[in-house]
Structure 1
Amino acid sequence: MNETRENNSSAQHDNYLNHLKSARTGPAVLKTRLIAFRSRDKKSPIFAFEGSDDKSVYYHWVRRIKPGLRYEPFPCAGKPQAVGLWEMLERDRGELREGIYFFMDRDFDSEGNLIKSGNIFYTDRYSIDNYLVGDDVLDEILKNEFHCHGDPDCRAVVVGIFFRLYNDFIALTKEVNRRLFYSRRLGISIKNGLPDKLGKLVKLGLTEIETAGFSADALVAYEKEPDIHEVAGLEQEFAALDGPTRYRGKFARLFFVQWLNTLAADRNSDAPAVFRERLVNEKVHASRITLDCLAAKSELPSGLAEFLENLPEAA
């Protein structure tokens, strides 16, 4: 009984904190910030992003496509706030909506649920994170940060291990993603937030991975469970999703970053298990494998180049 009371109290506290956060970052507050900026700069294009991570990743992507394009980044502290700001500007139909462009994650939204607008770009994958995780990114990291240049055979071995582990990770998190998918499509609220530590999802080592032992029901706890008829029409659609590109990207990045740190420790070891030879006069600095590092090596989202090319400011 005491444990239940403590859990309820914790949930109420989290809800209160979320309410305070929303009050500080809601669409009306964002609009006020936008007005303040436009009072000082009436010409610069404004790129509204879901959050600060998006701001950093898109910086690298935009620079690769249009290195001369200058814009003002405008993080919105979450997708609901970004959508809310877009809707508010559309309702106003005023000059404030001119020159502002929104960059949003696809998430689990269906094509029909995406806002159709010339000033919104959607990723074709779940989120920006899904572009940062993959064998191409890993190969570039191995060449540069891991000093495996000139040794494609060594890199192929490491990429092979990653490929196996990542496929296993996708399989182990399938049911968690299924519940997230149903939640999004059916509008079901989730209690207590989502896992933000990899240890809640899997136990990951250098060459092995296994479940962490938590059920998908516990990790993605619904406020109200849907009935069988509600989910029946969604099962086939979820089954058709490609896990690496269409499952929750933040989970994938948690996996990738932790594994890269473990891999770096092996590379720096006097007796490495994966690498054939130990490093001499070199060292892998795991702290340098940052969000910016991953973004600089990642594949570009489909359609982003065309979106940027069509901006009046890019002409």
Structure 2
Amino acid sequence: MNHGRARFIVGFLFFPVLLYVVYVIWPYLQTIGYSLTDWNGFTPEVPYAGFGNYADLLKDETFLRSLYHNAVILVVYPIVTILLALFFAFMLNVGGRGDKAGVRGVAGSGLYKTIFFFPQLLSIAIVAILWSRIFESSTDTGFLNALLAKVGIVDPQHPLLFLGETNSWLIPGIPFGDTVLDAPVVLWCLIVIAVWGGVGFYLVLFSAGMQSVPKDIFEAALLDGSTRGQTFFRITLPLLWEQISVAWVYLGIAALDFFLLAYAIAPPSMQATGASHVMSSWIYHTAFGSSRYDKFGYACAMAVAMAAFTFIFALIQLRITRREKIEF
């Protein structure tokens, strides 16, 4: 009986596992192998280079700069997205007035969730066109420059560059504000776009978690004299910790990638200067850029390093945020 069950399980899983090994595991192993070569991606010759490509990564100023850009995104993007999503989810689900029916969300919360989630439905091409017009460096066709010019913040003759700005926004008065936050303006614009596109998804995720919590818990806290802020920090956050941990992993992985935004929205001039490069976009440029066709093996070394960073981040994050599940 057990032997028959084992054969059934093996037969059921054989082809899915085979496909996974062929189309997922094997390409990973090939990438690791090519990272130890000087292969140009086209010729049949694959000269062995050992760990020289990995040593060169420490000397590649553009790669190190791209790594720093990813670090800035990794710090800012998940924190801002999760905080905004938590705030809006709490307001929509528990922010309504308490009455005889108990605590409830604000009126029209379903419509608000749909509006917030809408950016998830847009393709990257539409997002690129939309935000390129918003950040355009002109007071005639650039929405944000025109708005700032209307209120007198921007001189119409000298509009802000936004996506074309390679300099950094330094924040005085903040410790290390001239170093830790020293990232090009174009990178901050990409982070704004990413937050705009991601808040809606995690708002829906956190809303689902909040709706699974019995409203009696919130009502009992309010009857005991708790304010909405105390209710949020003492009840909502602990009960949503599992969803927050998952969101942090997803957002961290997205922050270490960031390829689509950096490639589709940043102008080619920014990509040429490296101001908008993240690790993934520099990998693509190194492997397929018109002037670097002989660097395919080196690009594979970058990809392996990026995968290692992502794996280490996920392990550390899951270790830090691991807590016992709260039952209710």
Alignment TM-score > 0.5, same fold: no
Q: Which structure's residues are more often helix, by fraction?
A: 2
The structure where strand makes up a greater share of residues is: 1
